[in-house]
Amino acid sequence: MDGLISTLTDEQWNREFTGYFKTIRQLCTHVYISNYNWFKRFGKFRDFQCTKDPLFAQDLDHRSHPFDGIAGYIAKREELDKKLIALAGELIENDLEKNITFTTFKGDTMSKNAGGSLLHMFNHHPS
């Protein structure tokens, strides 16, 4: 997906269309913020080295604007993807069987299987 996004013009990046996300920029922002927050959740699940990066020091929610333009998105996405690879390298099989407890954007506390949550995170990955 990022390969295609890098070929867009600014007009295409911001063009409105019908759907839940009105622009490609909004869709990419959602995907990035979703992945980012799943990383932060995994950082509270267990002591993962990759989640201690200063990248994760800020709080991002659906109102956040974590990047400017296509180049900014691609750079942030590449940085986050490197952390994703690092997370995969730190996981052990036992992690996937446990539950991860987290707070949603609405303030609700949820507990879900960590392996299933990791799959959900990959569902948001723009590969």
pLDDT at 8 over 60: yes
pLDDT at 125 over 60: no
Confidence band for 118, pLDDT divided at 50, 70 and 90: confident
Instruction: Report the candidate in 39, 126, 115 with the shortest Cα–Cα distance to residue 74.
Output: 126
- Could you tell me the pTM of the whole model? 0.87
What residues make up the domain containing 78?
A: 2-123
Instruction: Look at the block and give the residue holding tokens 């986050």.
Output: 80
Domain count, the chain: 1
pLDDT at 76 over 70: yes
**How do residues 85-102 score in pLDDT, each as one tens digit?**
999 999 999 999 999 999
Tell me the CATH number at 37: 1.20.120.450
